[in-house]
Structure 1
Amino acid sequence: MVKLTDVARAAGVGYGTASRALSGKGPVGGDARARVLEAARELGYTGDATARALRERRTRSVGLIVPDMTNEFYTASAEVLQEVLRDAGHHLFVATTGNHPGREQEALQEMAARRVDGIVHVPSGPSTAAASPVPVVELNRYSGRSVPAIVSDDFVGVKELTELVIASGYTDVAAIVGPDTYSTSRERLAGFKAAAEQAGFTEKATTGKRFRIMSSDFSAEGGASAMQTLLSDLPQAVMPLSSRLVMGVLKATRESGIRVPEDLSLAGYGDPDWFEIWGPGITTFAPPLAEMGAKAAEVLLDLINGLEPAHVVSRIPGTLRIRGTLTTSRD
Structure 2
Amino acid sequence: MEPIALTEKLARAVIEQSPDGLVICDQHGVITYVNDELSSMSGYGANELIGQRVEVLVPLDATARHPDLRGEFLQTNASRPMGPSGDVRLRHRDGTELAVAVALSTIHDASGRSVVASVRDISERMDQERRLQISNEALALAAERERIARDLHDTVLQHLFALGLEMQSLEMIVDNSLTARVTSAVDQIDHAIREIRTTVFTLGSAQRHGSFGQEIQDIVRQATRVLGFSPRLVIDGAAELLVPLAVRVELFAALREALGNVARHAHATEALVEIRVEQDLMVTVDDNGVGIADNSLGKGNGLGNLAARATGLGGTFDIRARATGGTRLSWCVPV
TM-score, normalized by the shorter chain, greater than 0.5: no
Structure with greater helix percent = 2
Higher relative contact order (CA 8 A, sep 6+): 1
- TM-score using structure 2 length: 0.29
- TM-score using structure 1 length: 0.29
